Amino acid sequence: MGLLYEAQAKGLPASEVLAALPVQPDPLAVTLVEGVAGRREEIDGLLAAQARGWTLERMPVLDRTVMEIATFELLARDDVPTPVVLDEAVELAKRFGTDDSARFVNGVLSAIAKKVRPV
């Protein structure tokens, strides 16, 4: 989350943030960062479509970053169950976001999950 947040905040490609690290990050972090970057259009499209009344630019960067990671996992990581993806994202939003972040993140991601992982 921190690497994607840094890339967003600095307006840099995620690959540049990864390359500038003095120590190689955890392989899962690399997978998530590269996965989000590689599927940016698809992820942003899903977020924009499900976040009714919110543009991507208007979303708090932290909330958007959490949802980007979770959306990538919903799309590309079948090994991670949907409830786990949603729960982890909501917990991150509670811990690092605003008072309304958890509810917002849960609502948007639940809608995306229904679309990309129908039961």
CATH number of the domain within which 96 lies: 1.10.940.10
Q: Give the pLDDT mean for 7-27.
A: 88
- Show the domain range for 64: 2-116
pLDDT beyond 80 at 119: no
Q: Give the pLDDT mean for 90-98.
A: 94
pLDDT tens for each residue of 51-82: 988 888 889 889 999 999 999 999 999 999 99
Q: What's residue 11's pLDDT?
A: 87
Domain count, the chain: 1
Decide if 67 contacts 49 (C-beta within 8 A): no
What is this structure's pTM? 0.90
For the ranges 19-28, 80-89, 100-109, the lowest mean pLDDT is seen at 19-28
pLDDT beyond 80 at 20: yes
Q: What's residue 38's pLDDT?
A: 94
Residue tagged 């943030």 (tokens): 17
Q: What's residue 115's pLDDT?
A: 95
The DSSP string of 43-57 is HHHHHHHHSTT--TT
